[in-house]
Amino acid sequence: MKLFSVCRTTGLCLSALAALSACSNDNEWKDVDGGSPALALTTSHARTEAGRSVNITGKVTDNDGIAAIDLVCHDINLNKRIDIIEIYGEPLKEYDLDYVFKIQENQVGESFNIDITITDIGGRKETQTLLVTLDADWSAPYFTTSPDAEVIVLIKDQTVFNLKFGVADNRVVDYVDIDLVDITDGEDAPKPVEGYPRRVEGNGTAKLDFSEKLTLPSKEANLRATVTAYDREANEPAHSATFTSIVKVQALQDMEKMWLCDVKDEADLNSDIFGVPIICDHIGEYKYQVRYYNETAGTEVSLLGQKGSFGPLCFAPSKENASVLGDNPDEVNWIKLDKANTYYLLTFDTFNGSYTVEDYSIDSAIDPVMHMHFGGDDLNTWWGGWDTDAWWQEFYFGPMSGGPDDVMKMTQDAKNPHLYIYEDWKLSKGDNLHFVIHNWHSHGWWNFVAWRVDDSADPSKFMYYGNVHPDNPHYTGNADYFQWKYNGAVDLDKWGDEAYRKEFVPDNWVNMESIERGGTFKLIFDAHTERARLVPQN
């Protein structure tokens, strides 16, 4: 077994030059008082962890002269002699012991005794024991779950903030402090909220999950919730963790963005690069609509008022009355979609609490490339001339970060031809994610089919930006898509003018400058719903 250790030694009475000039032939030193050596350990109990070091320190003195120091603990494979005479050329009357020894990562046991024996030139010995325990805490606690940086609480007869968080530590979560202050008049003028701050004691374990409805005044206000978790080394600043959320207490608002959620684990809700949950269309005041492809029967969905958490706003059928939407995640049952390989159109009105769920088939769904044959020779190199002189090449598309030469070919789903997938996309944390979905063309750039996004830094919708396709011998055109999508609002004769096209679809590429997580991902693009998600690949 290989041991890693560092020895730091200092002689206080003799300089290095004096040691070098000592007579090497004189190996006899006389006693001065014949007394035993003395050892004053800095501590008799050292705490560390497996895989970390223990520092053995103390002051050694002897009027006759210190000959050697032995550090022995067979349980941790420590057997070290510091030969003072060999190191310095003569015994020392004073010595600062400072020895570092690393405990192996696979060390078995919780406590050990290191015997420290001082021997002087007369052979007299003094032994003291240093207790070493592997119960130190070098790591701060951390939150496994926490609310968003900004949350909304709706004013009701009894207004409550459903505070949920999880905290963990490598050893023990000792306690958590919760503080609420009113910052309605500004961050610089905080007012205390009655009953806070308050303390939640840990349960003696390495994990603490907290869920409680905090009653708030039923009036509009901005509150700052600060939660700080401590481990048993709480006196050390590095042994605490804090999160802060701004709690906006308000009447129900007409929110610009709402999301359809189809996952039940909060980790899944936040493990994507983009696309989870699914952005809805804001079709009117308090009204939201979204199209969703249900691959598996029994999927449950809800409407979220925040992107990264199931609460505080989660709209779904109330447990008390399934025909009306509730808004509290603990008081609703999510909508179950019973049909597999089926599209659903869901519409919500958060003001009056109504909702509708309609299903329709894959075959009745529309997309702009559905009449072409993905992977077939359906792309005319020169666009015009649909007779036998046309030069047909393979039609496919996928993520493209530069030009058509670097298009990453997607795969068309076997059950749903509106669905396209690109797998094994390897990304590193901090990467710049820059691409559009675009077709490949043998002669370079050709805007045959293309999709752009609503927001480069936070893409939610992938909107069709490509050409209007006329009928030809290989496929039917896509005028039906434009009629379905825009209901006659688009002049197809003008669509080829890019300035006109941008009135309907912004020319935005995905451009996420520094993604938060790395790994292997899968891009799933639905050309019918015009939604995409980039999620970890299992």
H-helix segments, 63-218:
84-88
Q: The pTM is what?
A: 0.65
- For residue 18, being part of any structural domain is answered with yes
Q: Are residues 321 and 390 part of one domain? A: no
Which residues constitute the domain of residue 52? 5-133
Residue 389: its pLDDT value, please?
76
Do 529 and 481 form a contact (C-beta atoms < 8 A)? no
- For residue 15, being part of any structural domain is answered with yes
H-helix segments, 248-310:
266-269
Q: What is the 3-state secondary structure (H, E, C) of 442-500?
A: CCCCCCCCEEEECCCCCCCEEEECCCCCCCCCCCCCCHHHHHHHHCCCCCCCCCCCHHH
**Confidence band for 236, pLDDT divided at 50, 70 and 90:** low
CATH classification at residue 230? 2.60.40.10
- For residue 227, being part of any structural domain is answered with yes
Last-in-domain residue among 250, 277, 303: 250
Last-in-domain residue among 313, 329, 360: 360
Q: Are residues 240 and 271 part of one domain? A: no
**Confidence band for 300, pLDDT divided at 50, 70 and 90:** very high
Q: Are residues 502 and 415 part of one domain? A: yes
Run of H or E including 20: helix 16-21
Q: Are residues 148 and 125 part of one domain? A: no
Tokens of residue 452, six digits: 């752009």
For residues 413-417, average pLDDT: 98
**Confidence band for 498, pLDDT divided at 50, 70 and 90:** very high
Q: Please say if the pLDDT value at position 4 is more than 50.
A: no
Q: Please say if the pLDDT value at position 295 is more than 60.
A: yes
Q: Please say if the pLDDT value at position 299 is more than 60.
A: yes
Q: Are residues 328 and 229 part of one domain? A: no
Q: Are residues 323 and 383 part of one domain? A: no
What CA–CA distance (Å, rounded) separates 12 from 42?
17
Q: Are residues 506 and 385 part of one domain? A: yes
Dump pLDDT digits (tens) for 340-363.
999 999 999 999 999 999 999 999
* 29: Cα separation from own chain's centroid: 66
- For residue 198, being part of any structural domain is answered with yes
Q: Please say if the pLDDT value at position 402 is more than 90.
A: no
CATH classification at residue 265? 2.60.40
* More confident of the two residues 386 and 227: 227
Q: Are residues 417 and 318 part of one domain? A: no
Q: Are residues 494 and 384 part of one domain? A: yes
* More confident of the two residues 182 and 152: 182
Residue 237: its pLDDT value, please?
64
- For residue 220, being part of any structural domain is answered with yes
H-helix segments, 228-276:
266-269
- For residue 369, being part of any structural domain is answered with no
Q: Are residues 384 and 526 part of one domain? A: yes
For residues 231-236, average pLDDT: 72
Q: Are residues 129 and 146 part of one domain? A: no
Phi, then psi, of 187 in degrees rounded to 5: -60, -30
Q: Please say if the pLDDT value at position 26 is more than 90.
A: no
Q: Are residues 263 and 245 part of one domain? A: no
Last-in-domain residue among 250, 267, 285: 250
Q: Please say if the pLDDT value at position 24 is more than 80.
A: no
Residue 444: its pLDDT value, please?
82
% residues pLDDT > 70 (the chain): 93
Residue 32: its pLDDT value, please?
78
The count of structural domains within the chain is 4
* Contact residues for 161 (Cβ-Cβ < 8 A; gap 6+): 151, 153, 213, 214, 216, 223, 225, 247, 249, 312
